[in-house]
Amino acid sequence: MNKRNEGGNQVVLAAVLLTGFGAAHLIDDFLYGVPADFGLSNPVTQVLALLYFLITSWLLVLAVRGQKAGYIGNMILGLFLLAADMTKHGMEGMFWGAWRTGLFSRFLSFGVMGIGLWLAIVSCRAWQAAKADAA
């Protein structure tokens, strides 16, 4: 890895992992009726999912290009997904009773939270490095 781009490379890796975990976790949420918990119909949720994947793809492109907007956007995305998943699944996932498909559902949920936090941290660092390089 190029030392100069190491922070950006970590953002790209974290963003790709979060996209994969996010897709699998989203399917898990659909299967267990989570959109209905928020009063959302499937078509509305599908539009929101489409927007989510378009936004994450665009942020990934910006991060690959080393643009500050990609780092800032990924930092916000990571924090948002961390907060959203902690709010919805944090406490229910902590208890070891029956939960969805068991350990794998927990793995997906806590994976989204952990990778979201990691994405926020590495994005913040890459953004700060990009600011320093520009100065």
Look up the pTM and report it: 0.86
* Residue with tokens 């229910």, as numbered in its chain: 92
Q: Chain-centre distance of CA 114, in angstroms?
A: 9
Quote the longest CA-to-CA distance of the chain: 53
d(CA 26, CA 92): 17
d(CA 54, CA 74): 13
Quote the Cα angle for 87-124-47, to 5°: 50
- E strands within the chain? none
Q: Chain-centre distance of CA 105, in angstroms?
A: 16
Digit-coded pLDDT (tens) for 39-50: 999 899 999 999
d(CA 11, CA 74): 8
Digit-coded pLDDT (tens) for 94-129: 666 667 777 888 889 889 999 999 999 999 999 999
